[in-house]
Amino acid sequence: MTQSLAEIDLDFVPLGRTGIQTSELQFGTWRFGRTTEEGTLEISEDRAHDLLDTYAEAGGRYIDTADVYGGGDSERWIGDWLADRDRERYTIASKLYWQIRDGDPNSRGTNRKNVRHRVDAVLDRLDTEYIDVLYIHRWDDETPTRELMKTLNGIVESGNVHYLGASTLRPNAWKVARANAIAEANGWEPFTVLQPRYNLVDREIEGDYLEFARQRNLAVCPWSPLGQGFLTGKYARDEDLPDESKAAESSRFRDSYLTDENFDVHDELEAVAEEVDASPAQVALAWHLHRDGISAPIVGARTVEQLTENLAAATIDLSPAQVDRLTAAKPGPYDTL
Ligand SMILES: NC(=O)c1ccc[n+]([C@@H]2O[C@H](COP(=O)([O-])OP(=O)(O)OC[C@H]3O[C@@H](n4cnc5c(N)ncnc54)[C@H](OP(=O)(O)O)[C@@H]3O)[C@@H](O)[C@H]2O)c1
């Protein structure tokens, strides 16, 4: 099993039709500065900088953040780290949408007032002149799509943002298709990067969403590629969970991931991992790298050890038969029609 940073050299791959290239594994920073319900700081500033150093040492150049991560600390700490580096060598993606001020409904969503103000705040925290990719973190049904696309186009034209992205919890290809049709009819910038949840056990985007992205050559950068840790081999069927574990703490995680059906997928994952002398996490990430239509998954990690293990996924070769076995372990939404 490859575990040494020196053996990893991440490749660049196209970011859809944007014309720029992304590292084949992007680095996600949502736990930077995050405090758990018990008040524990998950990733401190020092650890965040160690993680960014590790990613950069492996050749990683694409960093994913959002304005709400760590209440802004994720962006701030990335900005501090970038200050000692060549900004131009890194691609930084951020997002906006979630309400940031209690009692102020206009501080939520993608209305023009909120978007313009929030972009300025992102630039300040990252201490940069431009954001490479700006995502809407979720779809805001209260803002007319035409207003949204016109506002976003203005921000691209101002030079503050290079490319636009749409991040989703549920597949919503038709909303993005409609928004892009409006943008293109007006000569405005469309969404070219998509960020859906996708992993071996969350397969909702297979079907229309992936087909739409493929047809329009939109980049697809999946979040939670390890099912928030489920696909790493650290959970077992019918196990008594320690009180402090994420699964014990969060019933949503337990109910959506720790199911018999998902453990069947996990069994296949462990079998393939053994065959290729890799860890389950590495094989779960390598599966993304072997999937048609996926640009680059966003790798999450709480420790440098986890990140080093995960980045080594780029060194793993799976045979077409192994990829097929993993894919078949849980049918996608259209496989049973
Ligand atoms: N657009 C959106 O709405 C959205 C939503 C979620 C995430 N994201 C982005 O996607 C990124 C990744 O998401 P995610 O954190 O959910 O990804 P993930 O890769 O599915 O899960 C990462 C978590 O799994 C555990 N883990 C990772 N590697 C491990 C290893 N080798 N061994 C054991 N445990 C390991 C760690 O948590 P523990 O050690 O605590 O188990 C880690 O924080 C985020 O940072 C963010 O940038 C976007």
Ligand 1 geometric centre to CA of 139 (Å): 22
Atom of ligand 1 nearest to the CA of 138: 3
Q: What are the distances in angstroms from CA 88 to CA 19, 56, 128, 139?
A: 15, 14, 10, 30
Q: Are 123 and 142 in contact (CB under 8 A)?
A: no
Nearest CA residue ID for atom 14, ligand 1 = 224
List strands edge to edge, sheet with 62-64: 219-220, 191-195, 161-167, 131-136, 91-96, 62-64, 26-28, 298-299
pTM of the complete model? 0.96
Residues 6+ apart with CB under 8 A from 128: 79, 82, 87, 92
CA 238 to chain centre: 29
**What pLDDT does 253 receive?**
87
Per-residue pLDDT of the chain (337 residues; tens, 9 = 90+): 657 899 999 999 999 999 999 999 999 999 999 998 889 999 999 999 999 999 999 999 999 999 999 999 999 999 999 999 999 999 999 999 999 999 999 999 999 999 999 999 999 999 999 999 999 999 999 999 999 999 999 999 999 999 999 998 788 999 999 999 999 999 999 999 999 999 999 999 998 999 999 999 999 999 999 999 999 999 988 776 665 566 656 788 888 899 999 999 999 999 999 999 999 999 999 999 999 999 999 999 999 999 999 999 999 999 999 999 999 999 877 665 4
Domain 5-231+294-301 has CATH 3.30.70.60: no
**What pLDDT does 245 receive?**
64
Q: Are 311 and 55 in contact (CB under 8 A)?
A: yes
Q: Please state the domain extents for the chain.
A: 5-231+294-301
Q: Are 144 and 115 in contact (CB under 8 A)?
A: no
